């Protein structure tokens, strides 16, 4: 049995000891958190806690997140980029516990809604280390960001400039970044490529919109142009797209200097760093990325006689994705003519990425020894949707049966944040594990929670 945990999660003055070494994500990195262990007899542990015990205590489906793994990755980024600002992209996964971990590890935080900002505020995240994103920020969201005193607001449209100026109290100045389209296509799926011309984010260099926005910001006494921002996409595993974007962004900084006589001090190149989802998969190598990007910044600035700006990177899934596992209970096994379906008690409401992006995940049976051979199975969700498939053609024991427990790897990013209540299904809890202890950090959404929002006739 797991012991109950009365103490709080780690604070700014308390750190997990002996965190495993982490060198980035070289080829061959498994898709499980650094503290995950698979034991003889079939059980598995994360953070020293049995996954079968977690399922028994908290039920299934359940998200499990490895605090030690998150902290280890935060430290790896700070070590690889010692002169840069590392800002966690909260859209990947955010709750008060996660915000507290990245805060205590010295990271900044980027948010893209008033809801994410509210979580940051509830966790006591320092306002000066918060970056506000969003391609269509409402006036209410801008007002909330200004009231909280966020360190920077990323301008994504020229209309935001006048709104910010109107909302800023007399005598105050707000620091902004202008989001520029570098016209670099990169990312694991067309739906998550955001650095090219033909998408909704940013201001085009080619049309002159980016230059117009810079001029408008500089023309507002209450706004300070802190720098430029770009974001190329998600699940990028090579360094070349980043170095190409860096050169184009440095060129824009030089153009601002030449036209307006000011040199913005910051360059934010976003995130999108790819991770491993299946054994044998590839990820962005952090050390190579850091060396390539910092080298490109320094060399291009030297060529243009430009001061080296402070670099900001915004990893999201690279910090939280590998730290997460989702636990499901097998409900039914159907052996058809061409395919074996293993149906579980969750699905696209708690992991929409396979349906949205064709994402693949590694799946393991945990909690008992496997008997006999393995066969290719498709793990199916319980929703009334033919596309509700969590993992296609994954090897599972031939004797898999109802009641078995499955663990799905690398679900720490975008699963909880994109979860829905499809079919009026409550969202799973989030359980944090570290140093042999488990704690509920987000409770399960119950039927009464869903009905509470339904005001009736």
36 DSSP 8-state letter:
-
User: Can you tell me the distance from the alpha carbon of 284 to that of 238, in angstroms, rounded to the nearest whole number?
Assistant: 6
Scan for tokens 């006689």, then name that residue.
305
Four-CA torsion 359, 362, 365, 367, nearest 10 degrees: -110
How many whole angstroms separate alpha carbon 235 and alpha carbon 248?
21
Q: How far apart are CA 356 and CA 41, in angstroms?
A: 36
Q: Does 384 participate in catalysis according to the annotation?
A: yes
Q: What is each CA distance from 370 to 364, 396, 411, 435, in whole angstroms?
A: 10, 9, 23, 28
Strand partners, 328: 406
Find all residues with CB under 8 Å of 185, minimum gap 6, and list them. 193, 195, 196, 232, 233, 241
d(CA 252, CA 5): 52
The catalytic residue among 74, 95, 112, 384 is 384
DSSP reduced 3-state for 149? coil
Please state, in angstroms and rounded to a whole number, the distance separating the CA atoms of residues 9 and 433. Answer: 10
* Cβ-based neighbour number of residue 140 at 10 Å: 9
The CA distance from 427 to 62, in Å, is 9
SS3 425: coil
DSSP letters for 330-380: EEEEEE-SS-EEEEES--TTT--HHHHH-----EEEESS---S-EEEEEEE
Q: In Å, how far are 176, 231, 293, 305, 329 from 251, measured between CA atoms?
A: 19, 16, 15, 11, 53
CB distance 373 to 442 below 8 Å: no
Spatial distance between the Cα atoms of 266 and 169, rounded to a whole number of angstroms: 25
Residues with active-site annotation? 384
């Amino acid at each position: 049995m797991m012991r109950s945990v009365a103490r709080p999660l780690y604070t700014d003055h308390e750190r997990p000891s002996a965190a495993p070494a982490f060198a980035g994500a070289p080829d061959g990195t498994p898709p499980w958190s650094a503290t995950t262990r698979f034991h003889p007899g079939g059980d598995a542990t994360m953070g020293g806690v049995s996954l079968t015990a977690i399922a028994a205590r908290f039920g299934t489906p359940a998200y499990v997140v490895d605090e030690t793994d998150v902290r280890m990755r935060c430290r790896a980024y700070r070590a690889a980029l010692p002169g840069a600002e590392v800002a966690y992209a909260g859209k990947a996964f955010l709750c008060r516990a996660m915000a507290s971990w990245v805060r205590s590890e010295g990271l900044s935080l980027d948010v893209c809604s008033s809801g994410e900002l509210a979580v940051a505020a509830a966790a006591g995240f320092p306002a000066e280390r918060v970056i506000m994103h969003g391609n269509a920020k409402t006036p209410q969201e801008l007002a909330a960001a200004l009231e909280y005193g966020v360190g920077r607001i990323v301008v994504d449209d020229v209309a935001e400039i006048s709104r910010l100026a109107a909302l800023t109290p007399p005598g105050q100045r707000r620091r902004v970044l202008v989001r520029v389209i570098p016209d670099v296509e990169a990312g694991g799926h067309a739906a998550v490529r955001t650095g090219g011309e033909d998408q909704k984010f940013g201001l085009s260099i080619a049309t002159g919109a980016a230059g117009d926005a810079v001029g408008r910001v500089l023309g507002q006494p209450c706004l300070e142009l802190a720098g430029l921002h770009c974001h190329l996409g998600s699940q990028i595993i090579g360094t070349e797209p980043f170095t190409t974007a860096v050169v184009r962004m440095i060129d824009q900084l030089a153009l601002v200097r030449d036209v307006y006589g000011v040199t913005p001090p910051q360059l934010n190149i976003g995130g999108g760093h790819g991770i491993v989802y299946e054994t044998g998969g590839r990820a962005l190598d952090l050390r190579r990325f850091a060396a390539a990007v910092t080298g490109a910044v320094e060399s291009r600035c030297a060529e243009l006689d430009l001061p080296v700006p402070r670099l900001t990177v915004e990893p999201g899934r690279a910090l939280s994705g590998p730290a997460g596992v989702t636990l499901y209970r097998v409900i039914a096994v159907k052996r058809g003519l061409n395919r074996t379906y293993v149906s579980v008690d969750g699905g696209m409401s708690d992991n929409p990425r396979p349906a949205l992006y064709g994402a693949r995940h590694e799946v393991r049976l945990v909690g008992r020894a496997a008997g006999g051979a393995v066969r290719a199975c498709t793990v199916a969700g319980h929703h009334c949707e033919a596309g509700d498939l969590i993992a296609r053609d994954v090897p599972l024991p031939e004797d898999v049966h109802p009641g078995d427990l499955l663990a799905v790897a690398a679900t720490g990013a975008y699963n909880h944040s994109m979860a829905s209540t499809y079919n009026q299904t409550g969202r799973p809890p989030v359980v944090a594990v570290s140093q042999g202890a488990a704690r509920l950090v987000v409770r399960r959404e119950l039927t009464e929670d869903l009905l509470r929002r339904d005001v009736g006739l």
